[in-house]
Structure 1
Amino acid sequence: MILNRYERMVAKRYLLPGKGEGFIFLVASISLVAVMLGVAALIIVMSVMNGFRAELFDKIVGLNGHAVVQGYGGRLADWREIAEQARRTPGVTEAVPLIEQPLMASYDGRVEGVLVRGMQRRDIVGNKTVEVVSGSLASLRPGAENVAIGARLAEALGARVGGQISLISPQGRTTPFGTVPRIVSYNVAAIFEIGVYDYDKAFVLMPIEDAQTLLMLGDAVGMVEIQTNDADRVGEILAPLAALVAGQGAIKDWRSMNAALFEALEVERIAMFVVLSIIILVAVFNILSSLIMLVRAKTRDIAILRTMGAPRSSLMKVFMTVGVTIGALGIIAGLILGAIFLFFRQSVVNFIQFVTGQNLWDPSIRFLTELPSKTDPFEVLAIVVMALAFSFLATLYPAWKAASTDPVQVLRYE
């Protein structure tokens, strides 16, 4: 929409408050603020939802891989061949054997349910999702009887580095009186944090050789964890492995293992986008009302312009420019506000918690220990385009009303 010189001058004049037009300017300012808040809210919520999904995906996949070959009965005897064949499969970047078994843990009289995970030492030390809080993962050597436990589990048990934790396995010795649970004590060599509450509350890491001894698996493992170069094509990539593992185990990818969680996040993400879009729609109704009042206040000016030869199209362009400019300024302010909020998001949450005394981000409910964020440029572009489109549509009726003004009727008694 290209404006000539006088059209730009008139549009600029109407954007600024004139004598007796303070109320119209106030309504226009409220419209701008409403658009700003709507755009900022939509960007903030969508970024947090995207960040939540991305953070969960990174943490879950970082520990469980894109897929696992899980042995029937929790045993995979021919795991070396399966792992080697997986590594040779195009698209597979890594194949890691591991053991995972829920057990009970005891420390100084306290008992908690845990998830024991046995991995090769190089895989434990090289896992980037495991952040050491205290101690060292280098102490996890086969036969050293050392383990690493999650930070939340350490809090629940009151455990610390250097203490001894007892793992209780129901698969123990058979006696004339029944099966006696197997209890083995280990030194706490490290306390780590993954960032997902459920993992930090349950995980106990140990060398795979110690896990085989504890669970009496011999040379078998529980599963082989597989990483690929494309998480969305994991089923297609691992299709050649299906024949090899037939009869020994089953292949489960990240979708099937966490389907309910990620589907719920996607539904919530779409629902939040639709609901928050209504805020922007309400904001542009303010633009509509302010433009209608402006047209009524400027009826005499419009009649004079029409008398001086201004075409209807020029008047339409003037009022459309005024409305779109209010919307555009609101969008720019919303982008700035959204960026500032996302940058200081955790500080804002901490401040609100301090003022209200309420725990707004309980890791036991939210899974993650901090408020995540990941801004998608394409989503931001879609939000901007949508807000601009709504603002443009809101100008059509007032602009048409202004262009339809009959100068003869207006100036008859002047």
Structure 2
Amino acid sequence: MILGRTERMVARRYLLPGRGEAFIFMVASISLIAVSLAVAALIIVMGVMNGFRADLFDKMAGLNGHAIVQGYSGRGIADWQTIADEAKATPGVTSAIPLIEQPLFAQVDGRAEPILLRGMRLSDMRQTIGSKVKAGNLAEVTPGSGNVAIGTGLAESLGVTVGDSISVLNPAGQSTPFGTAPRIVSYRVAATFEIGVYDYDKAYVMLPMEDAQDLLLMGNTVGMVELRVTDPDKVSQILAPLAPKVIRDGVLVDWRQMNAAMFQALEVERVVMFIVLSIIIIVAAFNILSSLIMLVRAKTRDIAILRTMGASRGAVLRIFMTIGMTIGVLGILAGIGISLIFSVFHQDIVDGIQWLTGANLWDPSVRMLTDLPFQPDFPDNAVIIGMTLLLVFLATLYPSFKASSTDPVQVLRYE
């Protein structure tokens, strides 16, 4: 929108408070604040939702891979080496990791907790949790050492630290003349780790593959083969050639099937939050509409004088549209600034509010992740900014056309 020098001067004059116009200026300021808060709220919420999904996916994929070959009916996979070799030979597959995963119980001094026992090769274990060790030494977890690594949440629940012992109970023990005798093995905690997903940190016990096979009486079999691919979004296409080759030993399941309900719920929540918070932007646009209507009514005499001095209807239209769009653009810029501040200090802000209120705003047992994630998505932000500009533009149309249609003869008849 190209404005002449006179039009810019008039628009600038109307944006600043004049004598007797403090109320109109206050309404316009409230409109600006409303737009900034609405834009900031929508960008922040979308950033948190995107960050939550991305962070959760990264942590889950880092521990569980992008797909698994699972043995039928809990039966172990005996020919796992062949499956791993065929998977690695498949284009797009970056790794194939054999592992054992079994829900069991651990107890310490009469305190019992459900656990998820995971047996892995040492190289795979160190690659998976080596950078996430919080205490102890993962190098001490070796075959036959009787050492294990456990999640920090589980260590807290059992009340153990590095150097303490835990007893792992396997109900499916050896058969005796008097029935099946549960198998109980004591392990020393050599290290604690934190994945960042509460459910994992509260359940996982990791130990060498050989020790897990011995505890579960599995021989040389494994429970599954974990697969990682180059592009998780195309996991089905990448693994399609592999599925017929493993059908004899197990079923191929990708991350979408394993976590379909969770990620679908996150996507629905994301869409609903976007719609709900978009209503705030609509309300902010109505604030701009009301402030412009008040300004037009207050400046009716000025508009009539401008018209008699030769100002065209288009000039008046441009002046008031510029005023409304300026309020909207300044509000958008302020909202972007607020969201940038939040993106840098989001965890500090949450910690500060928790300290002031004494409330736990981010309980890992409820939110799953230990820290508040934030990941801005530029296409989403572009949609938010574009939608706000469009709503502000539409809000300026009626009062601007009303101002441009002012009849100077009727207004100045009795002046």
Aligned residue type for 2:404: A
1:243 and 1:400 map into 2 onto residues whose CA distance is: 68
SS in 2 for 1:360: coil
Shift of 1:129: 7.9
Aligned residue type for 2:351: N
Match of 1:214 in 2: 215
SS in 2 for 1:32: helix
Match of 1:194 in 2: 195
Match of 2:5 in 1: 5
- Across the aligned residues of Structure 1 and Structure 2, the Cα RMSD in angstroms comes to 1.0
**Cα distance change of structure 1 residues 207 and 60 upon mapping to structure 2, 3 Å threshold:** same
Match of 2:17 in 1: 17
Alignment of 1:138-157 (within 5 A): 138-157=139-158
Aligned residue type for 1:21: E
The yes-or-no answer on 1:167 pairing with 2:168 is: yes
SS in 2 for 1:344: helix
1:229 and 1:247 map into 2 onto residues whose CA distance is: 25
Match of 1:327 in 2: 328
1:87 and 1:139 map into 2 onto residues whose CA distance is: 29
Deviations 1:179-228 (A, max 9, x none): 01001111111000011000000000011111111111111000000000
SS in 2 for 1:48: helix
Q: Indicate if the aligned counterparts of 1:46 and 1:269 stay in contact, CA closer than 8 A.
A: yes
Match of 2:237 in 1: 236
Aligned residue type for 2:269: E
Match of 2:268 in 1: 267
Match of 2:55 in 1: 55
Match of 1:348 in 2: 349
SS in 1 for 2:354: helix
Deviations 1:86-121 (A, max 9, x none): 001000011100000000101232111000001110
The yes-or-no answer on 1:73 pairing with 2:73 is: yes
Match of 1:104 in 2: 105
Shift of 1:174: 1.1
Gaps of 5+ in 2: none
SS in 1 for 2:370: coil
Runs of 4+ off more than 6 Å: none
Shift of 1:144: 1.2
Match of 2:385 in 1: 384
Q: Indicate if the aligned counterparts of 2:129 and 2:193 stay in contact, CA closer than 8 A.
A: no
Aligned residue type for 1:252: V
Shift of 1:264: 0.3
Deviations 1:263-306 (A, max 9, x none): 00000000000000000100111100000011011111111111
**Cα distance change of structure 1 residues 96 and 194 upon mapping to structure 2, 3 Å threshold:** same
Match of 1:292 in 2: 293
Match of 1:225 in 2: 226
Shift of 1:351: 2.0
Alignment of 1:94-133 (within 5 A): 94-127=95-128, 131-133=132-134
2:162 and 2:205 map into 1 onto residues whose CA distance is: 13
Shift of 1:396: 0.1
1:2 and 1:373 map into 2 onto residues whose CA distance is: 39
Shift of 1:383: 0.8
Q: Indicate if the aligned counterparts of 2:50 and 2:374 stay in contact, CA closer than 8 A.
A: yes
**TM-score scaled by length of structure 1:** 0.98
Match of 2:395 in 1: 394
1:77 and 1:265 map into 2 onto residues whose CA distance is: 37
Aligned residue type for 2:236: G
Gaps of 5+ in 1: none
Match of 2:45 in 1: 45
1:363 and 1:124 map into 2 onto residues whose CA distance is: 24
Match of 1:33 in 2: 33
Deviations 1:58-97 (A, max 9, x none): 0111111110000113311110000000001000011100
1:173 and 1:98 map into 2 onto residues whose CA distance is: 22
Aligned residue type for 2:279: I
Aligned residue type for 2:237: E
SS in 1 for 2:19: coil
Deviations 1:357-408 (A, max 9, x none): 2211111111011111100011111111111111110000000000000000
Match of 1:82 in 2: 83
2:85 and 2:168 map into 1 onto residues whose CA distance is: 32
Percent pairwise identity: 64
Aligned residue type for 1:8: R
Report how many aligned residue pairs link the two structures.
Answer: 414
2:411 and 2:112 map into 1 onto residues whose CA distance is: 86
Match of 1:185 in 2: 186
Shift of 1:247: 2.4
Shift of 1:128: 5.5
Aligned residue type for 2:314: S
1:164 and 1:129 map into 2 onto residues whose CA distance is: 21
